[in-house]
Structure 1
């Protein structure tokens, strides 16, 4: 396939998955999907290899979705799939690591045979059980577990599954609306992909997908081949809810001859009793993101460009969760995975890495009854701190790195839930000093507009130690979490009074280079 033809078809594929994602966001009910973009959309070939991803979405979702498609289809009788079938699961070990993230895969048919699959993963507003916090003692306390099933069969809804889902969640209308958005986005992808085949006279996309994936893999291996051979080490230490200290250590081995990079997490903290354990697919998602974003960020993210990056995970490790470990707040550790890898890469690619940032977004979930007595359960909303400084630029302030989700505007939150914000502004001076300073965190305060007690689930991190600077740069400021003016470290789900005020300052990012 010549370069011009490939570029035209590639642009069409990106247009398809991006339209798929835009449709999902437009149709979705929950602010976390509609406003924050906590989602992933991908297009897969008939062998379940990810060919293209949408231009919006999070690394934790999109790279987990790449694994989820293979896992779902490995548990499905492919010969029994028919037009109108839609597969679903939220199995943490098959998809994105916790019950809230539901993956939907739709086979795309042409002339009676499957030519591709459209997939999406989004964070849903509620899945029953404990909620988004880290306080559950095992996975069965965390919510509804959906095995690989057909959500739709030949275009007809699986009414039994729908009934089970609706009966087990607190906000069934929002969840069913968001599921409908996922199914609709898959239908749009199928329609557009068949139109592409009609337009260019293709029977399927097998030749196109092979060309894209093989070229991407070769380009990645060629980039790795330019690096020096050897093993480099990095470590990152941070505190999580309840004051537990987690250490992630990595040995990054570069093999230029094979064109491969292997990341070994030997020496990292063991499993946690809290729900912060990370399944391998989610660890892989953020580990590959760290490599891809420094090595060749302009290269398409697909099965080919991910293939040369390998992981080794110890059996007893916080980033290799085993059943029945609780995992609902897996992002609290998972979003720190890039930092020890970047520290290792800094020794051979100093201009391509960044200093440590605030890490995991601070997630909040509120439940209760408004002033009229109507129940509410918020979908998760996030607050970010400062990003680590870069070699040639300061770190960005109040940015969700590495996850990439947007902040839901306070106006949207106040219109959706009985919440009133007392402040939301940058906390100047929290970024670490350096030749390039780290980004600043932010201060947020809020109380609830309710006459009754309400429940708060919050998951802050870095309350005792701030992000480290790099190459002599200063450390970023640690975070602050207070209720009614008093510092709080135990942030498991708690009952709150109507007039209680929550106040937070998110951490700043580390600086780059001595000032």
Structure 2
């Protein structure tokens, strides 16, 4: 395909999937989607290969969505799909790793011919069960499990499924509103892709997707081929709710002749009894993000560029969750997956990696009744710490690395829920020292504007084990979590009183260089 023609068509594809994501954010009910961008949108060809992703989204969602499309269609008779059909699931092992992330896949037809799919995954406000915390003892305590099924069939809603969802969640209006946003964004992608085909005289996108994926894979293999052959090791240790210490170990093998990288997690911590276990698709998502962002960050993120990165996961391992392990707080471990990989890659490309950062965002969910007795359940909202320093630049402060979600503004949260913030500011000097200092964490305090007891789910990490510096850089400061001025380690769902005040200080990032 001619290079100029390909660039024009590629720009159109990115425009389509980015418009799909913007529509989803505009229509969504929940602040976690609308404000924070905790979502993924992808455009797939007829073979369910991800061709393009939106510029908005998180690695955990986007790269899991790439696998989710294949998984959904493996449980679907594709020959029976019709215009107006919409597939849905929140199966943790098929999509993004916990029940809150619902994946919607909309077939795109050109006339009566299937030419592709529009997919989206977003974090929903509530899915019943325990909530976003790590306190459930198995997956069946964690909420509503939606198997692969049709949310819409030939344009008509599956009323039975909608009724089941309504009766199993605390905030059905918000969840159904966000589902509607996902369906609408898929319709927009379908219209725009057909318009692209009309504009350039295409019967389908098969030739275009073949060219994009082939070139992306070739460029990724070329980037790997420039690295020295060998196996490089990294490890990262951190603490999670309840004081449990987790270690992730990686052996990163570079094979420049094949243009492949294999990441082996042998030696990592075993499965957990709390809901911090990580399914393979989510582990793969953050592992590939670490390699892709280090070696060739400007390359399109699609089936081609992801193909040369392989994983080996031990059977009994916290990042290879098996049924019926609880997984609702899987991000608490999953967001640390890049760090041991980056440490291993620092032996090969020391100028392209970053030091350890605060890791997993500190997620908060509040439930209760407001001063008028009306029930509320917040969507998860996040607070981030400092990013690790880079070889030539300081780490960024209060940034959600590696997830990439934005912070929901205090004003939006206070307008949406009966919450009042008492402070929100940078924790100056919490980043590690070094030639390049780590980013600072932040301090946040809040209480609820209610006369009723309320429930708190929160998942802090790195209260004991600080982010390590790299190449002689100093460690960042560990975090703090307090209720009414007293430190708390066990943060499983807690009943709080109206006057209780929560205070948090997120960790600072590690420094780079002596």
Q: Please name the residue that 2:462 is paired with.
A: 462
Q: How does 1:413-424 map to 2 (within 5 A)?
A: 413-424=413-424
Partner Cα distance (1:460, 1:274) in 2: 14
After TM superposition, give the deviation of residue 465 of structure 1 in Å: 1.4
Partner Cα distance (2:423, 2:465) in 1: 24
Q: Please name the residue that 1:86 is paired with.
A: 86
Partner Cα distance (1:166, 1:333) in 2: 31
Q: Secondary structure at the match of 2:364?
A: strand
Partner Cα distance (2:125, 2:443) in 1: 25
Q: Deviations over 1:13-55 (max 9, x none)?
A: 0000000000000000000000000000000000000000000
Q: How does 1:342-357 map to 2 (within 5 A)?
A: 342-357=342-357
Q: Deviations over 1:52-103 (max 9, x none)?
A: 0000000000000000000000100001100000000000000000000000
Q: Please name the residue that 2:13 is paired with.
A: 13
Partner Cα distance (1:473, 1:466) in 2: 13
Q: Deviations over 1:278-304 (max 9, x none)?
A: 000000000000000000000000000
Q: Please name the residue that 1:281 is paired with.
A: 281
Q: Secondary structure at the match of 1:118?
A: strand
Partner Cα distance (1:248, 1:414) in 2: 37
After TM superposition, give the deviation of residue 487 of structure 1 in Å: 0.2
Partner Cα distance (2:372, 2:78) in 1: 51
Q: Deviations over 1:133-171 (max 9, x none)?
A: 000000000000000000000000000000000100000
Q: Secondary structure at the match of 1:432?
A: coil
After TM superposition, give the deviation of residue 111 of structure 1 in Å: 2.1
Partner Cα distance (1:506, 1:278) in 2: 23
Q: Given the alignment of the two structures, is residue 367 of structure 1 paired with residue 367 of structure 2, yes or no?
A: yes
Q: Please name the residue that 2:471 is paired with.
A: 471
Q: Given the alignment of the two structures, is residue 270 of structure 1 paired with residue 231 of structure 2, yes or no?
A: no
Q: Please name the residue that 2:126 is paired with.
A: 126
Q: Deviations over 1:428-456 (max 9, x none)?
A: 00000000000000000000000010000
Q: Deviations over 1:167-221 (max 9, x none)?
A: 0000000000000000000000000000000000000000000000000000000
- Structure 1, unaligned runs of 5 or more: none
Partner Cα distance (2:56, 2:335) in 1: 18
Q: Please name the residue that 1:443 is paired with.
A: 443
Q: How does 1:29-428 map to 2 (within 5 A)?
A: 29-428=29-428
The alignment's TM-score, normalised by the length of structure 2, stands at: 1.00
Q: Secondary structure at the match of 2:120?
A: strand
Q: Secondary structure at the match of 2:197?
A: helix
Q: Secondary structure at the match of 1:495?
A: strand
Partner Cα distance (1:376, 1:95) in 2: 27
After TM superposition, give the deviation of residue 491 of structure 1 in Å: 0.2
Partner Cα distance (2:379, 2:29) in 1: 10
Q: Secondary structure at the match of 2:42?
A: strand
Partner Cα distance (2:385, 2:32) in 1: 18
After TM superposition, give the deviation of residue 399 of structure 1 in Å: 0.1
Partner Cα distance (1:306, 1:102) in 2: 22
- Structure 2, unaligned runs of 5 or more: none
Partner Cα distance (2:461, 2:223) in 1: 35
Partner Cα distance (1:81, 1:116) in 2: 12
Q: Secondary structure at the match of 1:68?
A: helix
Q: Secondary structure at the match of 2:247?
A: strand
Partner Cα distance (2:394, 2:172) in 1: 43
After TM superposition, give the deviation of residue 114 of structure 1 in Å: 0.5
Partner Cα distance (2:183, 2:204) in 1: 22
Partner Cα distance (1:32, 1:222) in 2: 38
After TM superposition, give the deviation of residue 126 of structure 1 in Å: 0.1
Q: Secondary structure at the match of 2:403?
A: coil
Partner Cα distance (1:265, 1:348) in 2: 19
